[in-house]
């Protein structure tokens, strides 16, 4: 977590703004919800990626997103581990 917060275009040391804390908390809880769904339901990582990519967007996902979805589906289907 950064101790620098932007105030009127200048960076100053201090506590993070409320907006930054809210954003970090949102990412944290979204990650925990995804982990719980994977553990407690029969949803796959590819399904979660697809939901995230198409949620509220009328356009198709971009190429990197489609690639990550297809890799997740392929690795799960054929039992391959994900390469980093």
pLDDT of residue 69: 87
pLDDT > 90: what percent of the chain?
17
Instruction: With 0.75 as the threshold, say if the pTM is over it.
Output: no
With 0-12 / 13-18 / 19 or more C-beta atoms within 10 angstroms meaning exposed / middle / buried, residue 49 is buried
22/4: higher pLDDT: 22
Phi and psi at 38, nearest 5°, equal -65, -40
């Amino acid at each position: 977590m950064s101790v620098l917060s932007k105030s009127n275009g200048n960076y100053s040391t201090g506590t993070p703004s409320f907006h930054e804390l809210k954003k970090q908390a949102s990412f944290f809880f979204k990650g925990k919800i995804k982990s719980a769904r994977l553990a407690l339901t029969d949803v796959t990582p590819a399904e979660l990626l697809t939901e995230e990519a198409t949620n509220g967007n009328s356009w198709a996902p971009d190429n990197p997103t489609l690639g990550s979805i297809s890799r997740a589906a392929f690795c799960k289907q054929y039992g391959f581990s994900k390469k980093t």
